[in-house]
Structure 1
Amino acid sequence: MSARDWARDLAMGTRFAFAGGREGWIRAVLTAVGVGLGVALLLLTTAIPNALSERHRREEARLDYTYSQEATPKADDTLVIADIDTEFRDRDVRGRLMEPEGAKAPLPPGLDEFPAPGDMVVSPALKELLESDGGKLLRERLPYDIVGTIDEQGLIGSQELAYYAGAEGLAERINGSTVARIDEFGPPEVRPEPTDPVLVLLVLVVFVVLLTPVAVFIAAAVRFGGERRDRRLAALRLVGSDGASTRRIAAGEALAGALLGLVLGTVFFLIGREVAASFEVFDISVFPSYLNPSPLLALLVAVAVPAAAVLVTLIALRGVVIEPLGVVRTARPARRRLWWRLLLPLAGVAMLYPMVGQGRDDGDFNQYLVVGGVLLLLIGITALLPWIVEAVVVRLGAGGVAWQLAVRRLQLSSGTAARMVNGIAVAVAGAIALQMLFAGVEGDYTKVTGYDVSRAQMQVRVPDGVELSDAVAEFEDTKGVRKVYPLSEGYLGDASWKKGPERTAQLTVADCATLREVAELPSCRDGDAFAVSGGEYDTDTPALSKPGRKLYLEMSGPAGTQGADVSWTVPAGLKKARSVEDPTGSRRGGFLMTPGAMTPEVAGAVSGQLYLAVDDSVPYAREYVRNTAASIDPTAEPMNWQATERSNRFDSIRTGLFVGATAVLVLIGASLLVSQLEQLRERRKLLSSLVAFGTRRRTLSLSVLWQTAIPIGLGLLLASAVGMTLGAVLLRMTATSVRVDWPSVLSMTGIGAGVVLAVTLLSLPPLLRMMRPDGLRTE
């Protein structure tokens, strides 16, 4: 058998696919569509690393944080910039106020010139939102005139909400955090975070779980129309072709469909890349230019898909005897053997077992063993499912006409039914395992904030220069605000802060009603002061609270420098108080003071904090709060309180999983629909015959539904078992106690069943059109 023979037979099969009449090209097109959908998703996957890298590069290119303890001096090439990020309906809005201090001030990426004070340059998505009826509340918060849009280089996504506004007088408000002076944009020199082995494991498993169903669907797509193809190949035996040559010709037909699938897949990918810019999934959006596949990975896809098509076809035809007078497939097939099918999942578990108990403290997980083990477990489903379907359907019998038609069809071609379900089963099993792993390790990346969200839900820092009483009055008049707790805060020391005090204590100023939210007071009236006991990490208050002692307040000047000393003498009538948990969940120590006990100097040294109780039953209550804060001062951005918060890196991986899973589910549905239509096309004459003999259409529709439901039910049961097994092994690898996340198991199983149900319903109209007696006509 020479390479020349292979080339000749494959070329002949390719000609048969496109020049073999209607049957040939319809099968080639169906194969190409199925393969094309898989190729499109593979190309998308190969583009994801580049997209993430480009988003990260653009994010770093526009960074304006210095992380420096030293203030940048004013010069001709400096820019004062203020961070005024906000939120609108759970979407982040990136905002910056800018004041260039010279002709050479650094320009942010995506801008051609600085906006004048009172003007702003916005992202296209923000401009669209502000001009819509839904952006009315946000428009009130941004009182600037739109004079242009930010170019693509200054944005990390097509749907990002961002703006740059011009301002004046920012230099006087430099504080080293929200307002700073910079001389360039770009990433600061900071040490990279150490790699977390568990997060790396999550990334590896996510990629394997998302790509395996795609490969399974491509393998199934190249076998579309297999039964009719085999009967056509019998004619080749009549003209003298031997069995090996016939199989190579069949592989050539599959190769033609796969090559056409590569073309269609590229077209689907290019279309999808343009469409992707119009959508945002889980707060992630991209520009079409981001989605450029790695040339090496794209070449690998271009070579692997046709090669897989040839290989799958040759393997599939090993058990088929193609003779000149027909195909020995309609006879009762030999029973499938179980033993070798069990080897795949067992080998997968064996590869993962050496890493059980390793956790994050014993170095990185072996990436090859992780990928190989997870892959073998998932591929094991495709080997076990045909055996399970065959073993079950052979025992099914009595029932209605629709049931018997479905069972008999499954008994004759259980392998075809299992192939349709394989992709769903693999996807569901992988999703169950990942959900168990995420749920198991989530606690390691989630911390309790301590905020008492029953008392307050938002917090606002009152900027310097704003009267606390005025801010309180504004928020009390804001729609949706139930109560405002105003607190002024500062720190006292036993010596000047320029030298550095040895002992320090916290100072809290508020009215009596608000002070009772942070401490148990014996009695209180305006003019009282208290020394607090029971505060967390507070050991200096007893020594500092002696009457007549002179204490110094911390005074922050420009760029975090220490201002002039302000002192306060401990009064003789100092009362005692016992600390309780305040709305932030902590116990304050130090001193409490009512406004009447403050001197004007002390009032200027403390900073105001407002804790707001919000009525979330009022529509857009938090948006009204943000609008009020912006009207008081653009830098007074309210902070949402949450009982818990998760690691950003953990959330990013989880978001990536959801985005990828959405794409895979769309592929599953589309490929399954194509497969279902191909199956119906092959049975067109059979369905027409049954209708001609008087079989009701309702009966035939139910039979098609049962033919789908039985293997899907078995596939989902197997997927649940394999998924929970894989999830348990992964949890043991991360040294986490094994716990089955039943809601995730049931939801993933339900989603898989829902996809199949949707595909079945979409296939009913063409099924009804095929169930006509005129379908018996032939040429």
Structure 2
Amino acid sequence: MSLGTAGKHGKQGGRSPQGRRSGHDGPGAPGAERAFRVWLRDLGLGARFAFGGGREGWTRTLLTGVGVGLGVALLLITSAVPSAMAARDARGDARMTFTSPTAEQPGRDTLLIAEVDQSYRSYGVDGRLVQPEGPDAPLPPGVKKFPGAGELVVSPALDRLMKTGEGRLLRDRLDGKIVATIGDAGLVGPGDLYFYAGSDRLTELQKTLPDEVKRITAFANTIEKQALDPVLTLLVVLTFVALLMPVAVFIGAAVRFGGDRRDRRLAALRLVGADGRMVRRIAAGEAAAGSLIGLALGTGFFLAARQLAPAMDLDQRSVFPADLNPAPWLAALIAVAVPAAAVAVTLFALRGVVIEPLGVVRTTTPRKRRIWWRLLLPLAGLGLLAPLIGKGNDSGQFNQWQVSGGVVLLLVGITVLLPWVLERVVGRIGGAGSVSWQLAARRLQLTSGSAARLVNGIAVAVAGAIALQMLFAGTSDSYTEDTGQDPTRASISVMSRSPAGGEPLARALDGAKGVTQAVALGSTFAGRSTGMEYEDATSMVTMGTCAALAEVAQLPSCKDGDVFVIAGADANRTMGGDAARPGDALFTGNIYGGEGGAPVPWTVPADARTVTARQDPVGRTATGLLATPAAAPKGMGRYQSTQVFVKLDPKMPDAVELARNAVFKADPLAVPLTLRATEVNDRYSSIRTGLFVGSALVLMLIGASLLVSQLEQLRERKKLLSALVAFGTKRSTLSLSVLWQTALPIGLGLALATVVGLALGTVLMQMASVPFRIDWASVLSMIGIGAGVAVLVTLLSLPPLLRLMRPDGLRTE
């Protein structure tokens, strides 16, 4: 429909004013169908204006599309996260052997496999030793052919790492010949560090260590993951809500780009006969068209970001492009919700605007914004959250919808409170100050609502981040375990089940570069009879040199051949049996009647002395009996375990990696553990990492959308800026005024965000039943990041601002 048509309809005398306002198309048409046709006609006319308004129209529509598209892209990425995690878990389960079917004897379809997971610097490098026993042995996912003895099949990421200087020591450890790489089906992500090493020793090791070397006939894992506890579930829900709320705010702001120009154009339509309802429908059509462009651009941004996904590897968490696949219903919801929201926001924005044929009147005497209804939203949010206070981990699950609703209402409260706060503050600014300050103040007094929209997204993001940081800080103690380990006494603890005992491993480590000491402690159970139950064992026998035994007990003196009894009956008794005493005849080793060896009789020497136990470097306290090598029982085979405590030279670079290399060379099945005083829960750490990734994406969106918003506002004021320069205003003065126009709303927005964030964080900590504390360092860092993004965007907008000040900006078409 053209302007001429609109004018013709407006002047048609045979139609009543009521008919024009309701958009009657003629007698006899059903009311609902007629209204539908009117809406379609006017929405279509609005879309034509969006795409056919010349350079100005295209620019406005493109800016709206870019702003909406950035938000849509992040929404699509977020909606694809669950499917990406599910795909990672499925591929991880497919290569596991926890619940794989096993066989007692070798066969055509059997495979010997052993875990040899490694740590290298900050990386986790998982791997398996494999030895097929028949032509039909099951191949691991992503592997086309088994590696032979001394050969490796590695993931592409591991292959790249070992070829760099950073991976030199890892290449020394895994020194087999790389014959192939693992396909995508066998990797949890493109950054996965994984390998399969061929071996010809597993047949022998399987006889002595059947628990470490499994004989399987297929790869499978059916163990279900444990559900998240209530507090972790709360953290996940809050992370999604806090990250997505700024996106929704930015989309709402983007569809209002070019509002002043649009309203002036609508006034022209009133001049040629369109009524008030019609121009609002036309405005809704323009917004819907811009949002559809945004959907298209957002889809393109998402597809481009998906191809770049393999390059993003944070804490060894990465995804393949195909993994980022939003659920169809979520994608459909976004496709419907974004245009609908654009129309709703536009109609809501026009509620206080009077568009007359001769101009746009927003209000002749602006009424002050009212505060009472703006307080209802945050109060309603607190009302939803208050009943959940004190739930914690011990009082049941949180209602996720109630939590989400309460947090959304609190964060939305910022967007309605900020315009009121900004209006009150700038309304009290007088005429004092520099010219740039006065220009900025006057502009903010006239358009405080637009300035508030500019920073609403930052305020919401900062408030959500502050609340989450407070909750993470409050719950960190609950998910950070004090291990009891003492890294000052030993840097590494190596666990081994080798039948040869720990002395060969200790000697190999003692000769390694960077190792200052390696002491081995062997242990086995002892009982008064054989074939007993596990809980009836009498004592634990710990074996080692005097230097090794000194790590677990306070020895007054010691020489090879001595035996010691740990003081106290309770300390001496390991399980439920009677405590062992000097002179007792015991059996050690295979006292439970297992396969692979007979019990070893052993008598506690009558001159065994009593000593007091001390905690070893890993935080355990020894019980039972201590025996030096000359007096210790012999020939226990695999019914003993070994622990080697390794001290490293702190001045030696890469001493830890050199020691790990020595362990792998001496005993590939041994497990080296780096001692740490504290340990963080893996799931808690994963959620915190997810928050970090999401925050980075939201910050990118904030910066990009804020820049687009700033450029759009400058473009609308092009003639005004050019006129001011033409009248002699300094460019530096105008640049400073733009800086003040950004700095003041952002300062107020960050202040309001801090208050709301602290309030929300306090409520969330009470809900999680954790002690209240404010991590001021995190709070200030969130405020600083928000302010930094705003300053950066302002600086990036200065070059376009200088171009807009040229005299040719006064030209018009």
Q: Does the alignment reach a TM-score above 0.5? A: yes
Give the Cα separation in 2 of the matches to 1:400 and 1:534: 83
Residue 97 (structure 2) pairs with residue 64 (structure 1): yes
Match of 2:86 in 1: 53
Bigger radius of gyration: 2
Residue 99 (structure 2) pairs with residue 27 (structure 1): no
Find the residue that maps to 1:148 and give its secondary structure.
strand
Find the residue that maps to 1:483 and give its secondary structure.
strand
Match of 1:655 in 2: 689
For residue 386 of structure 2, the aligned residue among 343, 353, 373 is 353
Q: Report the CA distance between 1:304 and its aligned residue.
A: 0.5
**In the alignment, is the contact (CA less than 8 A) between 1:276 and 1:286 conserved in 2?**
yes
Match of 1:159 in 2: 191
Match of 1:78 in 2: 110
For residue 582 of structure 2, the aligned residue among 537, 544, 547 is 547
Match of 2:8 in 1: none
Over 3 Å counting, the alpha-carbon distance change for 1:58 and 1:417 in structure 2 is same
RMSD of aligned residue pairs (Cα, Å): 2.4
Match of 1:427 in 2: 461
Q: Report the CA distance between 1:30 and its aligned residue.
A: 0.3
Over 3 Å counting, the alpha-carbon distance change for 1:700 and 1:436 in structure 2 is same
**In the alignment, is the contact (CA less than 8 A) between 1:282 and 1:659 conserved in 2?**
no
Match of 1:586 in 2: 620
Match of 1:613 in 2: 647
For residue 234 of structure 2, the aligned residue among 201, 208, 212 is 201
**In the alignment, is the contact (CA less than 8 A) between 2:71 and 2:701 conserved in 1?**
yes
The Cα offsets for residues 18-65 of structure 1, whole Å up to 9 and x where unpaired, read as 111111000000000000010111111111111111111111111112
For residue 214 of structure 1, the aligned residue among 243, 247, 260 is 247
Give the Cα separation in 1 of the matches to 2:274 and 2:73: 36
Q: Report the CA distance between 1:678 and its aligned residue.
A: 1.2
Match of 1:700 in 2: 734
Give the Cα separation in 1 of the matches to 2:105 and 2:70: 57
For residue 236 of structure 1, the aligned residue among 251, 269, 281 is 269
Residue range with higher mean Cα deviation, 155-164 or 611-620: 611-620
Over 3 Å counting, the alpha-carbon distance change for 1:447 and 1:9 in structure 2 is same
Q: Report the CA distance between 1:538 and its aligned residue.
A: 4.3
Give the Cα separation in 1 of the matches to 2:115 and 2:786: 44
Over 3 Å counting, the alpha-carbon distance change for 1:344 and 1:78 in structure 2 is same
Consecutive unaligned residues in structure 1, runs of 5 or more? none
Residue 574 (structure 2) pairs with residue 532 (structure 1): no
Residue 332 (structure 2) pairs with residue 317 (structure 1): no
Residue 678 (structure 2) pairs with residue 626 (structure 1): no
**In the alignment, is the contact (CA less than 8 A) between 1:97 and 1:166 conserved in 2?**
yes
**In the alignment, is the contact (CA less than 8 A) between 1:481 and 1:615 conserved in 2?**
yes
Match of 1:413 in 2: 447
For residue 157 of structure 2, the aligned residue among 114, 121, 125 is 125
* Amino acid paired to 1:64: T
Over 3 Å counting, the alpha-carbon distance change for 1:427 and 1:627 in structure 2 is same
**In the alignment, is the contact (CA less than 8 A) between 1:535 and 1:589 conserved in 2?**
no
Residue range with higher mean Cα deviation, 334-343 or 100-109: 100-109
Match of 1:292 in 2: 325
Give the Cα separation in 2 of the matches to 1:98 and 1:473: 27
Residue 216 (structure 2) pairs with residue 182 (structure 1): yes
**In the alignment, is the contact (CA less than 8 A) between 2:505 and 2:667 conserved in 1?**
no
* Amino acid paired to 1:629: V
Give the Cα separation in 2 of the matches to 1:125 and 1:231: 58
Give the Cα separation in 2 of the matches to 1:307 and 1:630: 61
For residue 765 of structure 2, the aligned residue among 731, 735, 740 is 731
Over 3 Å counting, the alpha-carbon distance change for 1:534 and 1:775 in structure 2 is farther
Give the Cα separation in 2 of the matches to 1:124 and 1:614: 32
Match of 2:707 in 1: 673
* Amino acid paired to 1:135: G
Q: Report the CA distance between 1:605 and its aligned residue.
A: 5.8
**In the alignment, is the contact (CA less than 8 A) between 1:498 and 1:562 conserved in 2?**
no
Give the Cα separation in 2 of the matches to 1:536 and 1:580: 15
Over 3 Å counting, the alpha-carbon distance change for 1:538 and 1:572 in structure 2 is closer
The Cα offsets for residues 414-452 of structure 1, whole Å up to 9 and x where unpaired, read as 111111111111111111111222222233333221111
Over 3 Å counting, the alpha-carbon distance change for 1:15 and 1:127 in structure 2 is same
Residue range with higher mean Cα deviation, 338-347 or 203-212: 203-212
The Cα offsets for residues 227-263 of structure 1, whole Å up to 9 and x where unpaired, read as 1222222211211111221121111111111001100
Q: TM-score with structure 2 length normalisation?
A: 0.91
Match of 2:360 in 1: 327
Give the Cα separation in 2 of the matches to 1:507 and 1:770: 85
**In the alignment, is the contact (CA less than 8 A) between 2:538 and 2:580 conserved in 1?**
no
Q: Report the CA distance between 1:139 and its aligned residue.
A: 0.9
Residue 544 (structure 2) pairs with residue 510 (structure 1): yes
* Amino acid paired to 2:399: N
Give the Cα separation in 2 of the matches to 1:772 and 1:510: 86
Find the residue that maps to 1:568 and give its secondary structure.
strand
Give the Cα separation in 1 of the matches to 2:529 and 2:582: 16
* Amino acid paired to 2:191: Q
**In the alignment, is the contact (CA less than 8 A) between 2:84 and 2:324 conserved in 1?**
yes
Give the Cα separation in 2 of the matches to 1:318 and 1:482: 78
For residue 476 of structure 2, the aligned residue among 420, 427, 442 is 442
Match of 2:284 in 1: 251
Give the Cα separation in 2 of the matches to 1:11 and 1:616: 74
Over 3 Å counting, the alpha-carbon distance change for 1:500 and 1:261 in structure 2 is closer
Q: Report the CA distance between 1:378 and its aligned residue.
A: 0.9
Give the Cα separation in 1 of the matches to 2:281 and 2:417: 28
Give the Cα separation in 1 of the matches to 2:596 and 2:181: 40
Give the Cα separation in 1 of the matches to 2:180 and 2:783: 49
Give the Cα separation in 2 of the matches to 1:254 and 1:561: 77
Consecutive unaligned residues in structure 2, runs of 5 or more? 1-21, 23-34
**In the alignment, is the contact (CA less than 8 A) between 1:118 and 1:145 conserved in 2?**
yes
Residue range with higher mean Cα deviation, 691-700 or 720-729: 691-700
Q: Report the CA distance between 1:580 and its aligned residue.
A: 1.4
Match of 2:376 in 1: 343
